[in-house]
Amino acid sequence: MELNKVSQRVKLITKVTSSRWFELGLTAAAGLALSLILYPAAWNLALGGLLEKVVPTPIYNAVHELRHLWGIPCH
């Protein structure tokens, strides 16, 4: 009987821990996506110009124009 309670607690802890890792992963992904929009030039520089080659030009330019509309300096 005692082993069953321990097993249930381990399952609960595992479930909570895995959901926290999932939340952490989502938070990290959201942070990366936001930084990609706010600082595309820094990402492009860090990736050696790869961002401009991978992302279609209209999308890259649209993000650039959004930054202008939001008042974020980029030049």
DSSP string, the chain: -HHHHHHHHHHHHHHHHHHHHHHHHHHHHHHHHHHHHH-HHHHHHHTTTHHHHHS-HHHHHHHHHHHHHTT----
Per-residue pLDDT at 10: 66
Q: Report pLDDT for 68.
A: 87
Give pLDDT, residue 24: 86
What is the number of other CB atoms lying within 10 angstroms of the CB of residue 40? 19
- What does each of the 75 residues of the chain score in pLDDT, given as a tens digit? 576 776 777 666 666 667 778 888 889 999 998 888 888 888 888 888 888 888 888 988 888 888 889 887 776
Query: Residue ranges per domain, the chain?
Result: 1-38, 39-75
| Statement: the pTM of the whole predicted model exceeds 0.95 | no
What span, in angstroms and rounded, lies between the C-alpha atoms of 13 and 53?
44
